[in-house]
Structure 1
Protein backbone atom coordinates (compact mmCIF):
# COMPACT_ATOMS: atom_id res chain seq x y z
CA UNK A 1 0.00 0.00 0.00
CA UNK A 2 1.44 3.37 -0.96
CA UNK A 3 1.92 6.21 1.48
CA UNK A 4 -0.78 8.20 -0.33
CA UNK A 5 -3.26 5.32 -0.15
CA UNK A 6 -2.64 4.66 3.53
CA UNK A 7 -3.00 8.40 4.28
CA UNK A 8 -6.35 8.48 2.44
CA UNK A 9 -7.49 5.36 4.26
CA UNK A 10 -6.51 6.87 7.60
CA UNK A 11 -8.34 10.12 6.77
CA UNK A 12 -11.43 8.19 5.64
CA UNK A 13 -11.48 6.04 8.78
CA UNK A 14 -10.99 9.13 10.95
CA UNK A 15 -13.82 10.91 9.13
CA UNK A 16 -16.20 7.97 9.58
CA UNK A 17 -15.37 7.79 13.30
CA UNK A 18 -15.85 11.53 13.68
CA UNK A 19 -19.19 11.55 11.86
CA UNK A 20 -20.45 8.51 13.76
CA UNK A 21 -19.26 9.90 17.08
CA UNK A 22 -21.08 13.21 16.54
CA UNK A 23 -24.29 11.83 15.07
CA UNK A 24 -27.53 11.90 16.97
CA UNK A 25 -27.82 8.15 16.37
CA UNK A 26 -24.58 7.57 18.24
CA UNK A 27 -25.51 9.85 21.11
CA UNK A 28 -28.95 8.28 21.29
CA UNK A 29 -27.46 4.80 21.54
CA UNK A 30 -24.83 5.66 24.14
CA UNK A 31 -26.50 7.99 26.62
CA UNK A 32 -29.82 6.64 27.83
CA UNK A 33 -31.55 8.81 30.45
CA UNK A 34 -34.18 7.87 33.01
CA UNK A 35 -36.48 10.40 34.70
CA UNK A 36 -38.45 9.52 37.82
CA UNK A 37 -41.15 11.63 39.48
CA UNK A 38 -41.92 10.46 43.02
CA UNK A 39 -44.94 11.34 45.16
CA UNK A 40 -43.96 11.99 48.79
CA UNK A 41 -46.43 14.84 49.31
CA UNK A 42 -48.71 13.56 52.07
CA UNK A 43 -50.30 10.18 52.87
CA UNK A 44 -53.49 9.68 50.84
CA UNK A 45 -52.61 12.51 48.42
CA UNK A 46 -52.42 11.58 44.75
CA UNK A 47 -50.79 13.83 42.21
CA UNK A 48 -51.51 14.27 38.52
CA UNK A 49 -48.49 14.38 36.22
CA UNK A 50 -48.43 15.27 32.54
CA UNK A 51 -45.08 15.29 30.71
CA UNK A 52 -44.23 15.88 27.07
CA UNK A 53 -41.51 16.84 24.64
CA UNK A 54 -41.71 18.36 21.20
CA UNK A 55 -41.93 14.82 19.77
CA UNK A 56 -43.65 12.79 22.49
CA UNK A 57 -46.68 13.34 24.72
CA UNK A 58 -46.21 10.93 27.64
CA UNK A 59 -49.83 11.28 28.75
CA UNK A 60 -51.46 12.03 32.09
CA UNK A 61 -50.57 9.82 35.04
CA UNK A 62 -52.17 9.66 38.48
CA UNK A 63 -49.51 8.80 41.05
CA UNK A 64 -50.56 7.65 44.54
CA UNK A 65 -48.55 8.61 47.62
CA UNK A 66 -45.32 6.61 47.92
CA UNK A 67 -45.25 5.71 44.22
CA UNK A 68 -43.52 7.11 41.18
CA UNK A 69 -43.77 7.25 37.41
CA UNK A 70 -40.77 7.17 35.10
CA UNK A 71 -39.68 7.14 31.50
CA UNK A 72 -36.50 6.41 29.56
CA UNK A 73 -35.21 8.15 26.46
CA UNK A 74 -32.11 8.76 24.37
CA UNK A 75 -31.36 12.49 24.35
CA UNK A 76 -30.32 14.37 21.26
CA UNK A 77 -27.42 16.72 21.91
CA UNK A 78 -28.67 20.21 22.88
CA UNK A 79 -32.24 19.57 21.69
CA UNK A 80 -34.08 17.15 23.98
CA UNK A 81 -36.49 18.91 26.34
CA UNK A 82 -39.12 17.21 28.50
CA UNK A 83 -41.41 19.52 30.45
CA UNK A 84 -44.04 18.50 32.99
CA UNK A 85 -47.09 19.85 34.77
CA UNK A 86 -47.71 18.48 38.24
CA UNK A 87 -50.75 19.14 40.41
CA UNK A 88 -52.38 17.94 43.60
CA UNK A 89 -55.04 19.13 46.04
CA UNK A 90 -54.13 20.25 49.59
CA UNK A 91 -56.43 18.12 51.81
CA UNK A 92 -56.97 20.76 54.53
CA UNK A 93 -57.89 23.66 52.21
CA UNK A 94 -58.93 21.90 48.99
CA UNK A 95 -56.53 24.31 47.26
CA UNK A 96 -55.07 23.14 43.95
CA UNK A 97 -51.25 23.15 44.04
CA UNK A 98 -49.37 23.18 40.73
CA UNK A 99 -45.91 23.46 39.25
CA UNK A 100 -44.59 23.51 35.69
CA UNK A 101 -40.98 22.34 35.33
CA UNK A 102 -38.41 21.14 32.83
CA UNK A 103 -37.73 17.55 33.84
CA UNK A 104 -34.79 17.32 31.44
CA UNK A 105 -33.28 19.93 29.13
CA UNK A 106 -30.28 18.96 26.99
CA UNK A 107 -29.96 22.61 26.00
CA UNK A 108 -28.45 23.30 29.44
CA UNK A 109 -26.12 20.32 29.95
CA UNK A 110 -24.13 21.85 32.81
CA UNK A 111 -27.10 22.49 35.07
CA UNK A 112 -27.39 19.88 37.81
CA UNK A 113 -30.92 18.88 36.76
CA UNK A 114 -29.46 17.59 33.49
CA UNK A 115 -26.23 16.14 34.85
CA UNK A 116 -27.71 12.73 35.51
CA UNK A 117 -28.42 9.35 34.04
CA UNK A 118 -31.18 8.74 36.59
CA UNK A 119 -32.83 12.12 37.15
CA UNK A 120 -35.12 11.98 40.18
CA UNK A 121 -37.80 14.54 41.03
CA UNK A 122 -39.28 14.32 44.54
CA UNK A 123 -42.65 15.96 45.21
CA UNK A 124 -43.05 16.97 48.88
CA UNK A 125 -45.70 19.16 50.51
CA UNK A 126 -43.31 22.14 50.56
CA UNK A 127 -42.09 21.88 46.96
CA UNK A 128 -40.50 19.92 44.17
CA UNK A 129 -36.96 18.67 44.76
CA UNK A 130 -34.37 17.23 42.41
CA UNK A 131 -31.59 14.69 42.84
CA UNK A 132 -29.09 14.45 40.01
CA UNK A 133 -27.18 11.43 41.30
CA UNK A 134 -27.81 8.91 44.06
CA UNK A 135 -24.84 10.14 46.07
CA UNK A 136 -25.97 13.79 45.89
CA UNK A 137 -28.45 15.43 48.28
CA UNK A 138 -31.85 16.45 47.00
CA UNK A 139 -32.33 20.19 46.33
CA UNK A 140 -35.48 22.29 46.36
CA UNK A 141 -36.01 23.50 42.78
CA UNK A 142 -39.64 24.69 42.65
CA UNK A 143 -42.24 25.87 45.11
CA UNK A 144 -45.90 25.06 44.57
CA UNK A 145 -48.12 27.67 42.93
CA UNK A 146 -51.71 27.99 44.14
CA UNK A 147 -54.00 27.05 41.26
CA UNK A 148 -57.64 27.98 40.69
Structure 2
Protein backbone atom coordinates (compact mmCIF):
# COMPACT_ATOMS: atom_id res chain seq x y z
CA UNK A 1 0.00 0.00 0.00
CA UNK A 2 2.78 2.44 0.91
CA UNK A 3 4.61 1.75 -2.37
CA UNK A 4 1.46 2.50 -4.35
CA UNK A 5 0.92 5.83 -2.56
CA UNK A 6 4.59 6.75 -3.06
CA UNK A 7 4.41 5.98 -6.77
CA UNK A 8 1.30 8.17 -7.08
CA UNK A 9 3.17 11.00 -5.36
CA UNK A 10 6.24 10.63 -7.58
CA UNK A 11 4.12 10.45 -10.73
CA UNK A 12 2.29 13.63 -9.73
CA UNK A 13 5.57 15.44 -9.00
CA UNK A 14 6.95 15.07 -12.50
CA UNK A 15 4.24 17.37 -13.80
CA UNK A 16 1.74 14.89 -15.23
CA UNK A 17 -1.32 13.98 -13.20
CA UNK A 18 -2.24 10.34 -13.55
CA UNK A 19 -5.92 11.27 -13.89
CA UNK A 20 -5.54 14.23 -16.24
CA UNK A 21 -7.01 13.84 -19.70
CA UNK A 22 -4.80 14.16 -22.73
CA UNK A 23 -6.22 16.17 -25.62
CA UNK A 24 -4.91 15.49 -29.13
CA UNK A 25 -5.75 17.63 -32.16
CA UNK A 26 -4.50 16.81 -35.63
CA UNK A 27 -4.33 19.03 -38.67
CA UNK A 28 -3.29 18.20 -42.22
CA UNK A 29 -0.09 19.52 -43.74
CA UNK A 30 -0.45 17.73 -47.08
CA UNK A 31 -1.41 19.26 -50.42
CA UNK A 32 -4.83 20.90 -50.81
CA UNK A 33 -7.49 18.51 -52.00
CA UNK A 34 -5.90 15.44 -50.40
CA UNK A 35 -8.02 13.86 -47.69
CA UNK A 36 -6.20 11.98 -44.95
CA UNK A 37 -8.38 9.32 -43.35
CA UNK A 38 -7.40 8.56 -39.77
CA UNK A 39 -8.52 5.71 -37.55
CA UNK A 40 -7.92 5.99 -33.81
CA UNK A 41 -8.33 2.88 -31.73
CA UNK A 42 -7.18 1.63 -28.34
CA UNK A 43 -7.90 -1.47 -26.30
CA UNK A 44 -10.87 0.33 -24.72
CA UNK A 45 -12.24 2.46 -27.55
CA UNK A 46 -12.61 2.58 -31.30
CA UNK A 47 -13.11 6.20 -32.32
CA UNK A 48 -13.76 5.25 -35.94
CA UNK A 49 -12.54 6.75 -39.20
CA UNK A 50 -12.31 10.52 -39.68
CA UNK A 51 -11.26 12.66 -42.64
CA UNK A 52 -8.67 15.38 -42.03
CA UNK A 53 -8.03 18.01 -44.72
CA UNK A 54 -6.09 21.28 -44.84
CA UNK A 55 -9.28 23.08 -43.78
CA UNK A 56 -10.59 20.55 -41.26
CA UNK A 57 -8.96 19.17 -38.13
CA UNK A 58 -10.01 16.33 -35.83
CA UNK A 59 -9.46 15.93 -32.10
CA UNK A 60 -10.04 13.44 -29.33
CA UNK A 61 -9.22 13.09 -25.65
CA UNK A 62 -8.52 10.23 -23.26
CA UNK A 63 -7.02 9.50 -19.87
CA UNK A 64 -3.64 7.74 -20.20
CA UNK A 65 -2.96 4.61 -18.17
CA UNK A 66 -0.49 4.84 -15.33
CA UNK A 67 0.04 1.14 -14.74
CA UNK A 68 0.34 -1.96 -16.87
CA UNK A 69 0.87 -1.90 -20.62
CA UNK A 70 0.47 1.30 -22.60
CA UNK A 71 -2.94 1.28 -24.23
CA UNK A 72 -2.84 4.46 -26.31
CA UNK A 73 -0.74 4.37 -29.45
CA UNK A 74 -1.85 6.28 -32.52
CA UNK A 75 0.28 7.47 -35.45
CA UNK A 76 -0.09 11.04 -34.20
CA UNK A 77 0.38 10.24 -30.48
CA UNK A 78 2.36 7.53 -28.69
CA UNK A 79 1.94 7.45 -24.92
CA UNK A 80 5.51 6.21 -24.31
CA UNK A 81 6.97 8.97 -26.49
CA UNK A 82 4.61 11.89 -25.88
CA UNK A 83 2.94 11.76 -22.45
CA UNK A 84 5.63 13.82 -20.70
CA UNK A 85 5.81 16.36 -23.56
CA UNK A 86 2.20 17.47 -23.69
CA UNK A 87 -1.27 17.01 -22.25
CA UNK A 88 -2.69 19.24 -24.98
CA UNK A 89 -0.98 17.87 -28.07
CA UNK A 90 -1.39 19.65 -31.40
CA UNK A 91 -0.09 17.69 -34.37
CA UNK A 92 0.22 18.10 -38.12
CA UNK A 93 -0.02 15.22 -40.53
CA UNK A 94 2.66 15.33 -43.21
CA UNK A 95 3.69 12.82 -45.89
CA UNK A 96 6.78 11.80 -43.89
CA UNK A 97 4.98 11.33 -40.58
CA UNK A 98 3.22 13.16 -37.77
CA UNK A 99 4.78 16.27 -36.18
CA UNK A 100 3.83 17.60 -32.75
CA UNK A 101 3.87 21.27 -31.86
CA UNK A 102 6.96 22.29 -29.90
CA UNK A 103 5.58 24.85 -27.46
CA UNK A 104 9.06 26.32 -26.89
CA UNK A 105 9.67 27.20 -30.56
CA UNK A 106 6.08 27.42 -31.81
CA UNK A 107 6.93 25.12 -34.73
CA UNK A 108 5.88 21.59 -35.61
CA UNK A 109 9.41 20.24 -35.15
CA UNK A 110 8.86 17.11 -33.02
CA UNK A 111 8.43 14.72 -35.96
CA UNK A 112 8.32 10.93 -36.03
CA UNK A 113 8.18 8.53 -38.97
CA UNK A 114 4.93 6.76 -39.71
CA UNK A 115 4.56 3.42 -37.99
CA UNK A 116 5.70 0.56 -40.24
CA UNK A 117 2.99 -0.38 -42.77
CA UNK A 118 3.09 -3.98 -41.55
CA UNK A 119 1.48 -2.92 -38.27
CA UNK A 120 -2.26 -3.58 -38.37
CA UNK A 121 -2.26 -3.78 -42.17
CA UNK A 122 -1.71 -0.05 -42.71
CA UNK A 123 -0.27 1.42 -45.86
CA UNK A 124 2.09 4.41 -45.84
CA UNK A 125 0.77 7.84 -46.79
CA UNK A 126 1.82 8.72 -50.34
Q: Structures share a fold, TM > 0.5? A: yes
Distance 1:122 1:27 in 2: 26
Deviation at 1:60, TM superposition (A): 0.3
Report 1:50-129 matches (<5 A): 50-78=39-67, 79-84=69-74, 101=75, 103-105=77-79, 108=80, 111=81, 113-114=82-83, 115-129=85-99
Distance 1:135 1:64 in 2: 26
How many residues align structurally? 106
- Indicate the RMSD between aligned Cα atoms, in angstroms: 3.2
Any gaps of 5 or more consecutive residues in structure 2? 10-16, 115-122
Distance 1:146 1:69 in 2: 18
Q: Do the aligned partners of residues 126 and 146 (structure 1) sit closer, same or farther apart at CA in structure 2, a change above 3 Å counting?
A: closer
Distance 1:75 1:57 in 2: 15
Q: Is the 8 A contact 1:47 1:62 kept in 2?
A: yes
Larger Rg: 1
**TM-score, normalisation: structure 2:** 0.64
Larger relative strand fraction: 1
